[in-house]
Amino acid sequence: MSVRLIDVTKVFEDPSRPGGGVVAVDGVNLDVAEGELVTFLGPSGCGKTTTLRIVSGFESPTAGDVMIGGARVNDEPPNKRDTSMVFQSYAIFPHMSVEQNVSFGLELKGRPKAVVREETARIMDVMGLTDMAKRRPDQLSGGQQQRVALARAIVNKPKVLLFDEPLSNLDAKLRDQMRLEIRRIQQTFGITSIYVTHDQVEAMTVSDRIVVMNKGRVMQVGAPFEVYSRPADRFVADFIGRVNFFDGRAVGSAEPFRVDLGGRIVEVGSRVRGIVEGGEAVVAVRPESLRLRPAAEGGSSFASGRVTKAVYLGSVIEYEIDAGFERPVLAVSHDPVDAGFFSVGDAVALDFPARAAHALAPEPRGTGDE
Ligand SMILES: Nc1ncnc2c1ncn2[C@@H]1O[C@H](COP(=O)(O)OP(=O)(O)O)[C@@H](O)[C@H]1O
Ligand SMILES: [Mg+2]
């Protein structure tokens, strides 16, 4: 079933300030295709949970429409919408076995005993729960409990699965594992899903597409590769991963697109619309795209400076370089053995391939981070 949000807005009234409520969701438009998993990603308080609750029917929009499978559901109560929610608190019954937890929803629906048995067995098999069918939740690990919660959510074959930060209570290693598990299950059953998280790695791992939100608004919608390598603006670039911004001016508008960074002309592989010829442009380059070499080697480079910080993390080294820009330049070197180590104080030359550079329009006045 597809899900569509049309101009959805939610204002929470504040009784102490008449007319001055909180705009939690601000004119959100979105299409989620049948079988697709879309993630809402953004900082705490940006309206992810509220939007999800509007889809489930636990919250009603102040304005706008919610469509599920082509039908307007604004006036349908949650239990008529055929959605199922998975939370970070597991919401499984402590006094029931794994099997009873999974079969409960089917029994509630009055399905024939044989069907309940068969469906429960199938879901437990897919979820790897068969061996622990008779155990009770307090005999399970956090990850196993979350798997039971997921099995409970999908056993009724909901049209839409809604996840609200489902892995926040798990430790890092289990979280990595469960992300892949959730993705596998969602694809196995082809259930249209909306997944809320503030964790960009989690969003990259599970999503077909990511909706980046800020202050109740949608900033960008795109596949993980698009939002990471072609961010729409500084907020998206900065929120998803780490990034260097270099301020400059667009040189012409022909391809290859070029930007003048204080006298040094660089080519960039992609750019957003709205950069005017001769106008301001911001070049965004990810730390892993920056190449370092000893300044003593000579040759031309985009910039040069001195290493002010070098953090060895085993598989990578993270550097900060003072290259005369407003902020230190961040660079990440993979395979340090091959690339060579630099130490604090070393003079280095910096470069990046044009295809790894992405030009952004300057922030419109008054809408930057206050
Ligand atoms: N029931 C409520 N009453 C008043 N304000 C709320 C309510 N629920 C959420 N908000 C406010 O709406 C904004 C968005 O909240 P939420 O959707 O929970 O964000 P997120 O899930 O992205 O952290 C926040 O400013 C929050 O304080
Ligand atoms: Mg939330």
Which atom of ligand 1 is closest in space to residue 51's alpha carbon? 17
- Mutation test residue for ligand 1: of 50, 56, 213, the one with most atoms within 8 Å of CB: 50
CA nearest to 217, candidates 64, 54, 26: 26
What is residue 171's predicted lDDT score, i.e. its pLDDT? 82
Both tokens assigned to 96: 């029931």
Q: What is the DSSP letter of 92?
A: -
Note whether 56 and 92 are within 8 A (CB).
no
Residue 154, classed as helix, strand or coil, is: helix
What is residue 183's predicted lDDT score, i.e. its pLDDT? 92
**Vertex 334: Cα angle to 329 and 335 (nearest 5):** 140
Q: What digits encode the pLDDT tens for the residues 168-220?
A: 877 888 888 888 888 988 998 899 999 999 999 999 999 999 999 999 999 99
Domain ranges of the chain: 3-229, 243-360
Contacts made by residues 337-342, CB under 8 angstroms, sequence distance 24+:
339/292, 340/294, 341/310, 341/312, 341/317, 342/292, 342/294, 342/307, 342/310, 342/317
Q: Ligand 1 pocket by C-beta < 6 Å: which residues?
A: 12, 22, 24, 42, 44-50
Distance from the CA of 321 to the center of ligand 1, in angstroms?
39
How far, in Å, CA of 5 to CA of 63, rounded? Answer: 11
What is residue 368's predicted lDDT score, i.e. its pLDDT? 44
Both tokens assigned to 167: 């892995």
Topology of the domain comprising 243-360:
OB fold (Dihydrolipoamide Acetyltransferase, E2P) (2.40.50)
Note whether 12 and 70 are within 8 A (CB).
no
Q: What is the pTM for the complete model shown?
A: 0.90
Q: Hey, whose CA ends up nearest to atom 7 of ligand 1?
A: 12
What is residue 222's predicted lDDT score, i.e. its pLDDT? 97
Note whether 187 and 179 are within 8 A (CB).
no
How far, in Å, CA of 150 to CA of 173, rounded? Answer: 18
CA nearest to 339, candidates 364, 361, 310: 310
What is residue 63's predicted lDDT score, i.e. its pLDDT? 97
Distance between first and last Cα of the chain: 40
Residues facing residue 4 across a β-bridge = 31, 67
Could you tell me which CATH number the domain at 3-229 has?
Answer: 3.40.50.300
Sequence-separated (6 or more) residues with CB below 8 Å from residue 217: 26, 27, 28
How far, in Å, CA of 129 to CA of 146, rounded? Answer: 11
Both tokens assigned to 135: 């155990």
What is residue 370's predicted lDDT score, i.e. its pLDDT? 39
pLDDT along the chain (370 residues), means of 10: 96 83 96 97 97 96 96 94 81 90 91 93 89 93 86 88 88 85 89 95 96 97 96 95 95 88 91 90 96 88 94 91 94 76 94 94 61
What is residue 369's predicted lDDT score, i.e. its pLDDT? 46
Q: Hey, whose CA ends up nearest to atom 26 of ligand 1?
A: 45
Angle between helices 142-154 and 113-126 (to 10 degrees): 140
CA nearest to 42, candidates 30, 29, 56, 25: 25
Which atom of ligand 1 is closest in space to residue 47's alpha carbon? 17
CA nearest to 169, candidates 48, 88, 94, 85: 88
